Amino acid sequence: MEMLEHWNAAIAYIERNLCTECDPGKAAGIACVTEDSFLRFFSYMTGMTLSQYIRRRRLTLAAQELRESTLRVIDIAVKYGYDSADAFSRAFAKQHGATPAAYRKNGGWLKVYPPVSFHIMVKGAVEMNCRMLESPGVEVFGVPKRFDGQGYPTREALRHIMWDRDCENVPGQICEGEWNQPGNTAYDGAWYGIWRDGNYMIAREKKETQNGRLEKQRLPAGTYAAFRTKRGGLAWEEIPKLFALAFDSWLPSSGYRQKGDLAIEVLHLWTDHSLRQANRYYELWVPVEKLP
């Protein structure tokens, strides 16, 4: 365990010096290993070189400053080690998919890298598709169920039972027809899985429902941190990963905290099986507020 303390102290040194000259030799000394050993082990454990990690962390923090400050792009570029706005813009666009000016104006998805930390397993330094969004509030209609940890031992068990066509089939209570029904598109689009105050609710916006007896719920306006998976995965595998990334990796180092007992799964699905299998993807929206 003493080794882990040394390595985490070395990472803390790197994080403190992201905006200055970070000396790998000094980090290695803090970790009580040679510089070569430090660089090899870091690369092996994180899947990236130390220089790649520093660059990705700087661009993660730079994106946060673009959103939250009024500093000029060139000032942010210099702060994070770039000699010109052009060089910064190219690096920023390569990581995040948009130029700094475009991101500041329009927002959008980011590829963010939380600080690495060494435990029994490595946490952080994993690419996440993340964006901050301002929601005006959404009114949805659906079917809720209480999660008490008794009838359903885990959240995943409750989610599975409510979504499963052979169990409670909540989607079938919201839309007409069935999954995979030829010619039916009623299930196409966004579905919401809402964890709120001990309940889980499967819901859609009013225009997507065919049942007038559904419960109404309003998702509050405000700032959300949103995380997104790649296409094609299975919900029962991908959504728990989103929760782990959001709550274990991103929130502790983000400068934000969760606002209220609310987390929203957004599932982008298709009625047709082949389309759904190829194109489905999932998001997790967490309402947040800045730490005082």
Please list the pLDDT of the chain residue by residue as tens digits (292 residues).
Answer: 577 788 889 999 999 999 888 899 999 999 888 888 888 888 877 888 899 999 999 999 999 999 899 999 999 999 999 999 999 999 999 999 999 999 999 988 899 888 887 764 455 555 668 899 999 999 999 999 988 655 677 788 889 899 998 889 999 999 988 899 998 999 999 999 999 988 999 999 999 998 778 999 999 999 999 999 999 999 989 998 899 888 878 888 888 999 988 999 999 999 999 999 999 999 999 999 998 8
pLDDT, position 117 = 78
The stretches of the chain forming alpha helices (DSSP H) are: 2-16, 24-31, 35-46, 50-68, 73-79, 85-96, 100-106, 155-163, 170-174, 235-244, 251-254, 273-279
The CB density around residue 155, as the number of other CB atoms within 10 Å, is: 17
Which residue reads 């962390």 in tokens?
57
- Per-residue burial over 77-110, b = 16 or more CB atoms within 10 Å of its CB, e = otherwise: bbbbbbeebeebbebbeebbebbbeebbeeeebb
* pLDDT at residue 86, as a whole number: 95
Asked whether the beta carbons of 233 and 281 are under 8 A apart, the reply is: yes
Residue 124 phi, psi (nearest 5): 85, -175
The sign of the torsion formed by the CA atoms of 17, 18, 24, 29 equals positive
| Cα–Cα distance for residue pair 287/272, rounded to 1 Å | 32
Cα(first)–Cα(last) distance of the chain, in Å?
33
Q: How far is CA 30 from the centre of its chain?
A: 31
Q: Kindly report the pTM of this predicted structure.
A: 0.71
Report the pLDDT value the prediction gives residue 12, as an integer from 0 to 100: 94
Per-residue pLDDT, 27: 93
**Alpha carbon distance 142, 170 (integer Å):** 8
Report the distance separating Cα 116 and Cα 101, nearest Å: 28
Residue type, 115: P
Q: How far apart are CA 140 and CA 218, in angstroms?
A: 6
The pLDDT value given to residue 119: 64
